[in-house]
Amino acid sequence: MRWILALSTLLICSGAHAAGLTDIAARVKPAVMQLSITNSSGEVVGNGTGFFISEDGLLVTNFHVIETAHGVIAQGPDEAVVEMLGVLAQDEEKDLAILQAKGAGHRILQLGDSVDLAEGTQVVVLGSPRGLLGSFSEGIVSAVRENGLPEKYRADSRQRGRLIQITAPIAPGSSGSPVLTLDGEVIGVAQSLVVGGGNLNFAVPVEAVKELAGTIALDAKPRPFQPFPWHNLVGSMIFFAVFATVLVVVQRVGRKGSPSETRSVN
Catalytic annotation, pick one of 36, 64, 114, 192: 64
**End-to-end alpha carbon distance in the chain:** 52
- Known active-site residue 236: no
222, 87 contact by CB (below 8 A): yes
Residue tagged active-site, from 114, 175, 192, 264:
175
Q: How far apart are CA 112 and CA 115, in angstroms?
A: 10
Nearest to 82 by CA among 54, 102, 65: 102
What is the helix (H) or strand (E) element at residue 89, kind and residue range?
Answer: strand 81-91
Asked if 17 is an active-site residue, the reply is no
Indicate if 175 belongs to the active site: yes
User: Which amino acid is it at 188?
Assistant: G
Question: What separation in angstroms does the CA of 44 have from each of 32, 69, 70, 135, 246?
Answer: 19, 10, 10, 20, 29
Instruction: Identify the active-site residue in 95, 135, 137, 192.
Output: 95
Q: Is 185 left (phi over 0), alpha (psi -120 to 50) or beta?
A: beta
Alpha helices in 61-189 (DSSP H): 63-66
What is the rounded (10 degree) CA torsion for 55, 58, 59, 62? -150
Q: Measured between alpha carbons, how far is 152 from 254 in angstroms, rounded to an integer?
A: 13
Q: Which residues are catalytic?
A: 64, 95, 175
